[in-house]
Chain A
Amino acid sequence: MRNGPSWFNVTSLVLGFSFLYLPIVLLVVFSFNESRLVTVWGGFSTKWYGELFRNTQLLDAAKVTLEVAFLSASCATVLGTMAALVLNRSGRFPGRSMFSGMIFAPLVMPEVILGLSLLLLFVAIDQSRGFWTIMIAHTTFAMCYVAVVVQSRLVGFDRSIEEAAEDLGSPPLKTFFLITLPLIFPAVVAGWMLAFTLSLDDLVIASFTTGPGATTLPMKIYSQVRLGVTPEINAVCTILVGLVTVGVIAASITTKRREQQRQRDERAAIAQG
């Protein structure tokens, strides 16, 4: 009987994680490169981060991206939550499974098709393209992700809690805001964050629906990379990776803490009868 993992497990682990994270590690490392040449190490430096904050084009693109992401995530959350509620609550009606299928179809639809169809729509209704068209397009494809997340939360929802609120004198709409929304709030927030992230890193749909003056960060990065990767781009990407990592770790720690607290409380309640 040997202790510890076998050589096979260790190798699989190393290979798998290298495959996933080596490119990102390289990107982070080279963002601290002194040299202008991306692939040649010239010593440690943070100068590209300083450069970055003087690059108004990149900063403008970042601002547009955050604005689009914030607005589209918010709209998508409202629409996606409503869709999830309707699909979960309205019982059986003719065409219900078709509707739920249609809500989730954009999840697997190629982005190129989605982007092209939205572009055709905007041209057809003679909508000049720019900030708002990107926002609408992002809302469209992010809302189905929100619907999926919120619906999974609603599946285990005890409807009698809402009935109890109504029974105690609260009309349906008020019940939604006082009871249902607070209880599904974690899922709504998760949906919002997912929508925000999706909008943040979308390139294809934004490229189709954008117009003059509305360039998002992914578009900016992509167009610059075609002229050659600069350490500045590495710096931007490192900041993005850092933000996402901190966000994910913070979220998982709070969820875990809350769950542990809850289990402790329940044990205490059972112990004291």
Chain B
Amino acid sequence: MAKKAIGPVRRTFTPWEDSSAKPFIEFRNVTKRFGDFTAVDNLSLKIYEREFFALLGGSGCGKTTMMRMLAGFESPTEGQILLDGQDMAGVPPYKRPANMMFQSYALFPHMSVEGNIAFGLKQDGMAKADIAARVAEMLRLVKLEPFAKRKPHQLSGGQRQRVALARALAKRPKVLLLDEPLGALDRKLREETQFELMNIQEELKTTFLIVTHDQEEAMTVADRIAVMDAGKIMQVATPAEIYETPNSRFVADFIGDINLMEARVVSTSEDGTVMQAVALGCQIETSQTTTAAVGDTVWYAVRPEKIRIELGETEHAEGTTAVNQTNGEIWDIAYMGDVSIFHSHVGNGNGVSIRSTVANVTRLVERPLTWDDKVTLSWGRDAGVILTN
């Protein structure tokens, strides 16, 4: 079940575009300071019911602190956190309708898999028969039925991870918090588990909040991503929007690979913007409008896979400038198996290079381009995005 398939399915669940929708989790001007260090800086965020939301950022950006404040392990220095309309100030972790899956899994080593899953239910004083039924249901959900009687140290890493997930979901929390849930798994298992997580989320219709530093993981599982840096949210948007239209150089650079070209605005109109690339010696035309004034220096950001690379330089008649294309020379090639990344020097050897990704549709021996080839690099009018900050 590929939830991220391109098409109408993807677009049906967009509560954040509905101004009348009530946020399920709300951070209102939340600040958290540890001594002199500000971990979270006057941050506001709305997350909606049934959303799979990702907090993405490098280490120390405040994403884990956000999650711990929501779980109740830290209290905000300033500001308010609301969960389902209720102010969470002063509510201890054991009374919050949110359950967390810990990075280290934090399984109880002296209890069996069953005992771990039943722990939260016992705290609620649920009837024995109901607990047994719920535990069985959870074991089925994470496909661990044969391992019910095992202790955590008798399980592999992937199985432990699934016990931790089942334990956190057993109480049917309003929100499931996932702290780097797949960090300890190897790549293959991680990819499988990402899809499993998405399926479970669709089945249970619970709001999931995941904290991760892995952008691929965030893009795979999340409906929306908040990119964080130094305690602030840089951008909140869907994975496609974050990738295609980053709002700042930080986000553009943080997510995926990107070519940032310095340019000066030549003219602006409702139909678009014309810029003169500083190092490339060509003009950039785009249908995107900008708030920057004529003469301002801006950055034009284009993803490597949106740059076409063709053998041979393109000559231009005297007095005309190339538009959205430049000549270059292949300087380095990274062969990744499925794609090759070409680094081409452009702009008459002043050290600027442009990366372009090409899918390896033919076998390597038939690749038409090689080192030191003169090439033409070009991109479409809507390939990139103008960044002013």
B residues less than 8 Å from A272 (CB atoms): 156
- Chain B residue, CB-CB nearest to A164: B106
Shortest beta-carbon distance from B278 to chain A in Å: 50
Shortest beta-carbon distance from A130 to chain B in Å: 42
B110 within 8 A of partner (CB): yes
- Residue in contact with B154 in the complex, picked from A179, A266, A273, CB distance below 8 Å: A266
B residues less than 8 Å from A268 (CB atoms): 154
Inter-chain CA distance A273–B119, complex, in Å, is 26
Shortest beta-carbon distance from A132 to chain B in Å: 37
Shortest beta-carbon distance from A182 to chain B in Å: 5
- Chain B residue, CB-CB nearest to A264: B154
B residues less than 8 Å from A126 (CB atoms): none
A residues less than 8 Å from B96 (CB atoms): 167
Shortest beta-carbon distance from B301 to chain A in Å: 39
A161 within 8 A of partner (CB): yes
**Chain B positions 220-247 with a Cβ under 8 Å from a chain A Cβ:** none
Please state if B123 and A266 are interface contacts (CB–CB under 8 Å): no
Shortest beta-carbon distance from B207 to chain A in Å: 16
Shortest beta-carbon distance from B144 to chain A in Å: 13
Please state if A270 and B94 are interface contacts (CB–CB under 8 Å): no
Inter-chain CA distance A163–B99, complex, in Å, is 11
Please state if B99 and A183 are interface contacts (CB–CB under 8 Å): no
A108 within 8 A of partner (CB): no
- Residue in contact with A164 in the complex, picked from B100, B124, B154, CB distance below 8 Å: B100
B residues less than 8 Å from A182 (CB atoms): 110
- Residue in contact with A167 in the complex, picked from B99, B107, B124, B151, CB distance below 8 Å: B99
Of A9-17, A18-26, A168-176, A204-212, the segment with at least 4 beta carbons within 8 Å of chain B is A168-176
Shortest beta-carbon distance from B181 to chain A in Å: 13
A265 within 8 A of partner (CB): yes
B residues less than 8 Å from A170 (CB atoms): 94, 119, 123
- Residue in contact with B106 in the complex, picked from A160, A171, A265, CB distance below 8 Å: A160
B109 within 8 A of partner (CB): yes
Inter-chain CA distance A166–B151, complex, in Å, is 21
Inter-chain CA distance A20–B141, complex, in Å, is 61
Inter-chain CA distance A164–B152, complex, in Å, is 15
Please state if B94 and A265 are interface contacts (CB–CB under 8 Å): no
Please state if B123 and A160 are interface contacts (CB–CB under 8 Å): no
Please state if A168 and B104 are interface contacts (CB–CB under 8 Å): no
What 0/1 readout, one digit per residue, does chain B (152-185) give for beta carbons within 8 Å of chain A? 0111101100000001100100000000000000
Inter-chain CA distance A182–B108, complex, in Å, is 10
A residues less than 8 Å from B48 (CB atoms): none
Tally B residues with Cβ within 8 Å of A. Answer: 33
A269 within 8 A of partner (CB): yes
**Chain A positions 105-161 with a Cβ under 8 Å from a chain B Cβ:** 158, 160-161
A residues less than 8 Å from B73 (CB atoms): 163
A189 within 8 A of partner (CB): no
Please state if A164 and B102 are interface contacts (CB–CB under 8 Å): yes
B23 within 8 A of partner (CB): no
Please state if B104 and A166 are interface contacts (CB–CB under 8 Å): no
- Chain B residue, CB-CB nearest to A169: B123
Q: Are A168 and B156 also in contact (CB < 8 A) when A158-B104, A158-B106 are?
A: no
Q: Are A167 and B100 also in contact (CB < 8 A) when A182-B110, A265-B153, A269-B156 are?
A: yes
Please state if B71 and A167 are interface contacts (CB–CB under 8 Å): yes
A262 within 8 A of partner (CB): yes
B79 within 8 A of partner (CB): no
Inter-chain CA distance A168–B92, complex, in Å, is 11
A165 within 8 A of partner (CB): yes
B residues less than 8 Å from A169 (CB atoms): 94-95, 120, 123-124, 171
- Residue in contact with B156 in the complex, picked from A161, A164, A174, A270, CB distance below 8 Å: A270
Inter-chain CA distance A100–B159, complex, in Å, is 40
A residues less than 8 Å from B107 (CB atoms): 161, 164
Please state if A269 and B123 are interface contacts (CB–CB under 8 Å): no
Shortest beta-carbon distance from B226 to chain A in Å: 22
- Chain A residue, CB-CB nearest to B189: A273
- Residue in contact with B120 in the complex, picked from A163, A168, A171, A270, CB distance below 8 Å: A168
Please state if B102 and A160 are interface contacts (CB–CB under 8 Å): yes
A residues less than 8 Å from B94 (CB atoms): 166-172
Inter-chain CA distance A160–B73, complex, in Å, is 10
Q: Are A161 and B106 also in contact (CB < 8 A) when A262-B153, A265-B151 are?
A: yes
B residues less than 8 Å from A161 (CB atoms): 106-109
Inter-chain CA distance A158–B102, complex, in Å, is 11
Please state if A165 and B108 are interface contacts (CB–CB under 8 Å): yes
B residues less than 8 Å from A160 (CB atoms): 102-104, 106
Q: Are A165 and B154 also in contact (CB < 8 A) when A158-B106, A160-B104, A183-B109 are?
A: no
Shortest beta-carbon distance from B48 to chain A in Å: 23
Q: Are A269 and B154 also in contact (CB < 8 A) when A169-B94, A169-B123 are?
A: yes
Inter-chain CA distance A169–B99, complex, in Å, is 9
Please state if B93 and A163 are interface contacts (CB–CB under 8 Å): yes
Inter-chain CA distance A163–B124, complex, in Å, is 17
Shortest beta-carbon distance from A99 to chain B in Å: 21
- Chain A residue, CB-CB nearest to B118: A168
**Chain B positions 62-119 with a Cβ under 8 Å from a chain A Cβ:** 71-73, 92-96, 98-100, 102-104, 106-110, 119
**Chain A positions 58-83 with a Cβ under 8 Å from a chain B Cβ:** none
**Chain B positions 15-56 with a Cβ under 8 Å from a chain A Cβ:** none
A residues less than 8 Å from B156 (CB atoms): 269-270, 272-273
**Chain A positions 10-54 with a Cβ under 8 Å from a chain B Cβ:** none
29 CB < 8 A contacts A-B:
A158-B104, A160-B104, A160-B106, A161-B107, A163-B93, A163-B100, A163-B102, A164-B167, A165-B108, A166-B92, A166-B94, A167-B71, A167-B94, A167-B96, A167-B98, A167-B99, A167-B100, A167-B168, A168-B99, A168-B119, A168-B171, A172-B94, A179-B108, A182-B110, A266-B153, A266-B154, A268-B154, A269-B156, A272-B156
Top 4 nearest A-B pairs (CB, nearest first) are A168-B120, A169-B123, A164-B106, A160-B106
Inter-chain pairs besides A163-B102, A168-B119, 12 sampled, C-beta below 8 Å: A160-B106, A161-B106, A163-B93, A167-B99, A168-B94, A168-B99, A169-B95, A169-B120, A169-B171, A171-B92, A183-B110, A265-B154
